Amino acid sequence: MTDFAATKAMFNLPDGLVYLDGNSLGALPKAATARVSEMMTKEWGERLITSWNLSGWMAQPMTLGDRIGGLIGAEPGHVAVGDTLSIKVYQALAAALDLRPDRRVILSDSGNFPTDLYMAEGLLKTLGKGHELRVVAPEDVADNLTEDVAVLMLTEVDYRTGRLHDMADLTTKAHAVGALTLWDLAHTAGALPVDVAGCNADFAVGCTYKYLNGGPGAPAFVYVAPRHADAVAPALSGWQGHTAPFAFDLDYRPASGVERMRVGTPPVIQMAALETAMDIWDMADMTDVRARSIELTDLFISEIEATCPMLTLASPRDGLHRGSQVSFRFEHGYAAMQAIIAEGVVGDFRAPDLLRFGFTPLYTDEGDVRTAVTRIARVMNDKLWDRPEYKIQKAVT
Ligand SMILES: *Cc1c(COP(=O)(O)O)cnc(C)c1O
């Protein structure tokens, strides 16, 4: 059994604050401060460039990839860390399209995070081969899996509502029509168990600064199924994905396996922070995390519904169909969230009217949920949100 009191003690959590936004930016592992400082003073400061070898910097994209791979059911050696998620979406989609040269449709859904769709649009324009990005409603995905689909590109957990796609089922259906799958696990990795190998997923990508707690700007990850790993042609053919980067050949020859999805120099300071987060993940079992997440989100939903009749649940009521987040609709959602934050509960707002709350069992417990509900109920019932200062829109919502 995962000792959640022990994992909670490993995070820096400001006194009195209930943090329900770990789905957007995970909390700071206490050990990260010392680890990053050591990395800076000793590895960078003293060892300087020798640290690429001596401190293992160059190996980290793959060793961290394996540690993340353990949380998503990937075969060892088939996850690489680096770049941002937007870039990994681009790379993985380009690789997948290249494996289906006779098809022209990318199927996605309107619940996808916009950057995934934007990156696809940009890629299709660059390819200039007349591909079509077909975006349908989430519930219509299966019906739109036709023989012309090259790639099914979906985010497993909807970033707004937390609605969960059935990854195993849709992957099987996509394969049945000859399409490949690209799963974005941004709101899955560290939130619920997933088995990319068991589902036969072709490609998967995700970020490490949300549920994985790697810190702002922490690198993304990419998984390529072993059956494709030596066949994909990287669209972003950077030197770190070359088979011999330090041969400095004039021609690109891809590294074997998923290492060819590396692009440039890895973000070492960020990876040092991410390492400390992965140390905490070593103490956790994803099955326990999922069970606790459903308990906490169920409790939150029932208590909010009992105390705040003006809020409408936007997330699936059945925990099995929900990621680790809960959203409620409210007409004055932006102002309400500002007031809720001022009362010491941090969630976020997603246009047009969603109050979104993320639940992270590694550092959120039942007491936090009850405190949050009391504070939210006060904001809603006393209309504390109805003040001019809460209506001024900031750049990041
Ligand atoms: C958070 C998120 C992103 C963010 O991409 P970055 O390049 O890391 O900014 C992309 N896709 C999905 C589905 C996300 O949830």
- Which pLDDT score, from 0 to 100, does residue 142 have? 98
Give the C-alpha separation, 206 to 224, whole Å: 12
Residue 120: its pLDDT value, please? 98
What is the domain class of 4-29+285-391 according to CATH? alpha beta
For residue range 284-311, list pLDDT tens digits in order: 999 999 999 999 999 999 999 999 999 9
Contact 30, 22 (CB under 8 A): no
Distance of CA 79 to the CA centre of its chain: 14
Atom of ligand 1 nearest to the CA of 112: 13
Q: What pLDDT shows up at residue 201?
A: 98
The residues with which 221 forms a beta bridge, in sequence order, are 81, 206
Note the pLDDT of residue 395: 86
Report residues of the chain scoring pLDDT below 70.
Answer: none
Please indicate whether residue 84, judged by its CB atom, sits closer than 6 Å to ligand 1: yes
Spatial distance between the Cα atoms of 162 and 314, rounded to a whole number of angstroms: 9
Which class is domain 56-281? alpha beta
Query: Does the annotation mark 113 as catalytic?
Result: yes
Is the Cβ atom of 44 under 6 angstroms away from ligand 1?
A: no
Active site residue 210: yes
pLDDT of residue 324: 98
Tell me how far the alpha carbon of residue 164 lies from the centroid of ligand 1, in angstroms: 16
Rounded Cα distance, 284 and 279, in Å: 9
Residue type, 176: A
Active site includes 184? Answer: yes
- Ligand 1 pocket, mutate which of 25, 113, 165 (most atoms under 8 A from CB): 113
pLDDT at site 393: 87
Q: Domain residues of the chain, as ranges?
A: 4-29+285-391, 56-281
For residue 394, the model assigns a pLDDT of 86
Annotation marks residue 209 as catalytic: yes
Q: Do domains 4-29+285-391 and 56-281 have the same CATH topology?
A: no
Q: What is the pTM of this model?
A: 0.98
At residue 368, the pLDDT reads: 98
Question: What is the pLDDT at residue 373?
Answer: 98
| Contact call for residues 55 and 261 (beta carbons, < 8 A) | no
What pLDDT, on a 0 to 100 scale, did the predictor assign at position 396? 87
Q: Tally the residues of the chain.
A: 397
Q: Is the CB of 159 under 6 A from ligand 1?
A: yes
